[in-house]
Amino acid sequence: MDNLSYLIIVVAALAATFAALGVFRVVFRERLAVAERLEHYTVDKKSEHGVFEELNLPFSERVLKPIWNSFIGNVKQAVPKEKAMSYDRKLMLAGYPHGMDTQTFVILKYAVLMIMILLGLLTKSFMWLLVLGAIGVVAPDIYLIMCRAERAERVSKSLPDTLDLLSVSVEAGLGFDAALQKITEKMTGPLAEEFAAALNEIKVGKPRREAMRDLADRLQVDDVSTFVASLVQAESLGVPIANVLRVQSEQVRLRRRQRAEEKAHKAPIKMLLPMLFFIFPAIFIVLLGPAAIELMKVFAPGGPGLGG
């Protein structure tokens, strides 16, 4: 067979192929149209536009975020479950400062420890290495304790006003849940945030008693725990909530006044050590310094002496 015969065979094969495709498309046109529409709605946008759309994302989204998520996952697997629950409890009582979760806090804790150890190595002193290492171990926990104390102080200060608003709202005819809604709308702070969380739990079906007990457990403030216990007891006995709120508001203000008086009585004792070690030495130096200089001149060798 010559070249012309081969060319005729190839052209005939191509024509038969295109004809078969045309017949197939005519026969299955409707099915293909349905498949195309389904593909249009189910196609993954990322695979549709390819790598170009991924390259348009910021560097932090493309590189840093996947690395960070992978690192967080490894840390989550490395931290024991009991230790993670303990850290989560401490973070909850501290109000999750700066939005930290358990894994972020563990990373921060070890980062501070490593920085302190490096600083200790730079000092080339074993004693400083031990001191800075100990600081690196306890500093994050102390920070959580300080955040918890500050949060508890804010809750205690805002509790009387919150109870007053609750009492006024209930006496005005609102239900307790509607009064809680007013608290979340009119007030800010950790107590209002916890009331909002309790209200959301009530809305999704959790019993009010359990929601309020969980609120007291998340705050761990004595006044809030006493208020929640009184509220649960009043609800169980059928006592009007408005009376309970009024009495609790007065008692909270009384306890706050008593704590202020207690701090005022402790102030002189707390001021004693700074006065002994910082204020009195400075006063002695100012008052007795000139006299000491004159005595040194008198008793110095070759000085005028007492008789001069």
DSSP string, 30-94: HHHHHHHHHHHHHS-HHHHHTHHHHHTS-HIIIIIHHHHHHHHHHHHHHS-HHHHHHHHHHHHHT
**Fold classification of 151-260 (topology level):** Receptor-associated Protein (1.20.81)
Nearest CA to 201 among 190, 187, 191, 215?
215
Q: What is the pLDDT of residue 129?
A: 87
Cβ–Cβ contacts within 10 Å for residue 94, how many? 20
d(CA 156, CA 159) in angstroms, rounded, equals: 5
Q: What is the pLDDT of residue 30?
A: 54
User: How big is the chain by its Cα radius of gyration, in Å?
Assistant: 38
Mean pLDDT, range 273-298, rounded to an integer: 84
Question: Percent of the chain scored above 70 by pLDDT?
Answer: 73
Q: 42 pLDDT exceeds 60? A: no
Q: What is the pLDDT of residue 46?
A: 45
Under the banding of pLDDT at 50, 70 and 90, the label for residue 52 is low
Q: 28 pLDDT exceeds 70? A: no
Q: 146 pLDDT exceeds 90? A: yes
Q: What is the pLDDT of residue 43?
A: 47
Q: What is the pLDDT of residue 47?
A: 47
Q: What is the pLDDT of residue 36?
A: 58
Amino acid residing at 252: V
Q: 44 pLDDT exceeds 60? A: no
Nearest CA to 132 among 143, 142, 118?
118
pLDDT, the chain, mean: 78
The distance of Cα 265 from the centroid of its chain, to the nearest Å, equals 35
Give the residue with greater pLDDT, 219 vs 298. Answer: 219
d(CA 272, CA 268) in angstroms, rounded, equals: 6
Mean pLDDT, range 187-216, rounded to an integer: 89
Q: 51 pLDDT exceeds 60? A: no
Mean pLDDT, range 102-110, rounded to an integer: 84
Query: What pTM was computed for the model?
Result: 0.64
Mean pLDDT, range 265-293, rounded to an integer: 85
Mean pLDDT, range 183-204, rounded to an integer: 89
Under the banding of pLDDT at 50, 70 and 90, the label for residue 48 is very low
CATH 1.20.81: which residues of the chain?
151-260
Q: 68 pLDDT exceeds 60? A: yes
Find the distance separating the first CA and the last CA of the chain, reported in whole Å.
144
Angle, vertex CA 202, rays to CA 201 and CA 204, nearest 5: 65
Mean pLDDT, range 261-271, rounded to an integer: 85
Mean pLDDT, range 49-71, rounded to an integer: 63
- Contact partners, residue 112, CB within 8 Å, separation at least 6: 136, 139, 140
Burial 3-24 (b: 16+ CB within 10 A, else e): eeeeeeeeeeeeeeeeeeeeee
Position of tokens 């012309």? 4
